[in-house]
């Protein structure tokens, strides 16, 4: 158990809908990262938050947004869902520093299915 | 061109075999290199990480980095059925704020 929790485990919804995925980082970790994992693209970095502030953006669509709250949990909002958004969404946390290496601890993921 | 390339496999080996998993990359700024193991329907977990070039050994696992060739490898000795998983390489630079770039993963099955 990494200490990172994600809810829900599974989500089934229809095209055009909006969903919210939730992540709670390990105790003491100020950084939260969101990744999307699909069969053909592998694990793709979406966005990084540090202590409530956005630090880096990866391949995140404009229909997707995220935020990190004062209690450090984070939410990833996916709107106007398309079939291609079906994937595993992982959250990871670390005690990020500006340089050097920080291990990222991954949660169990949320499996999103868009029908 | 993707920044990190990894052969997706699948790879199937008999128990006790030596397994070699590889990734290539294009960004010469990458300095930290990681191998993650992901069991089906679970989150990735860190196996090993190395800094810059060289070898690192941890039990049955050895990670190698050849920065001149932009090539990294993970060797698993005396492979066990419990090693059956997807192995993901990942890498990052010194100053990207810890943004990781992952390979697509190689699926490994170790047959008893």
For A57, which residue in chain B has the nearest alpha carbon? B99
- Contact list, B51 vs chain A (CB under 8 Å): 101
What stretches of chain A show up as alpha helix (H) in DSSP? none
Inter-chain CB proximity A42 and B99 less than 8 Å: no
Rounded to whole angstroms, how far apart are CA atoms A64 and A34?
11
Cα–Cα distances in angstroms (integers) from residue B74 to residues A95, B12, B33, B66, in the given order: 26, 16, 11, 12
- Contact list, A34 vs chain B (CB under 8 Å): none
Of B42, B96, B102, nearest to A56 by CB-CB distance is B96
User: Residues of chain B whose pLDDT is less than 50?
Assistant: none
Rounded to whole angstroms, how far apart are CA atoms A75 and A89?
11
Count CB pairs under 8 A between chains A and B.
70
For B102, which residue in chain A has the nearest alpha carbon? A43
Inter-chain CB proximity B102 and A106 less than 8 Å: no
- Helices then strands, each counted (H, E), chain A: 0, 11
Exposure string of B23-40, with b = 16+ CB inside 10 Å and e = fewer, is bbbeeeebbbbbbbbbee
Helix (H, G, I), strand (E, B) or coil at A84: helix
pLDDT, one tens digit for every residue, chain A (115 residues): 889 999 999 999 999 999 999 999 999 899 999 999 987 778 899 999 999 999 888 889 999 999 999 999 999 999 999 999 999 999 999 986 655 677 889 999 999 999 9
For B40, which residue in chain A has the nearest alpha carbon? A108
- Contact list, A96 vs chain B (CB under 8 Å): 97-98
Sequence-ordered list of residues with C-beta below 8 angstroms from that of A64, at least 6 positions apart, any chain: A46, A76, A77, A78, A79
Confidence at residue A40, expressed as pLDDT on a 0 to 100 scale = 72
pLDDT tens digit sequence for B54-83: 899 999 999 999 999 999 999 999 999 999
Specify whether the CB–CB gap between A46 and A73 falls below 8 A: no
Inter-chain CB proximity A109 and B43 less than 8 Å: yes
Query: For residue B80, what are its two tokens?
Result: 């066990």
Sequence-ordered list of residues with C-beta below 8 angstroms from that of A99, at least 6 positions apart, any chain: B94, B95
């Amino acid at each position: 158990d990494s200490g990172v929790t994600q809810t829900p485990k599974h989500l089934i919804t229809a095209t055009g809908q909006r969903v919210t995925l939730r992540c709670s980082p390990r105790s003491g970790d100020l950084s939260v990262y969101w990744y999307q994992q699909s069969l053909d693209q592998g694990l793709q970095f979406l966005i990084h938050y540090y202590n409530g502030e956005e630090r880096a953006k990866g391949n995140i669509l404009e229909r997707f947004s995220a935020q990190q709250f004062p209690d450090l949990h984070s939410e990833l909002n996916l709107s106007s869902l398309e079939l291609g958004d079906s994937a595993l969404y992982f959250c990871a946390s670390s005690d990020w520093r500006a340089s050097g290496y920080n291990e990222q601890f991954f949660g169990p993921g949320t499996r999103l299915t868009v029908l | 061109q993707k920044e990190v390339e990894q052969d997706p496999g699948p790879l199937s080996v008999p128990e006790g075999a030596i397994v070699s998993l590889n990734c290539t990359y294009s960004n010469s700024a990458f300095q930290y290199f990681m191998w993650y193991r992901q069991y089906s329907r679970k989150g990735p977990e860190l196996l090993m990480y190395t800094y810059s070039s060289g070898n690192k050994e941890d039990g049955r696992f050895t990670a190698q980095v050849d920065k001149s060739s932009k090539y990294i490898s993970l060797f698993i000795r005396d492979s066990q059925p419990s090693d059956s998983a997807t192995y993901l390489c990942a890498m990052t630079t010194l100053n990207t704020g810890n943004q990781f770039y992952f390979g697509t993963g190689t699926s490994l099955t170790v047959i008893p």
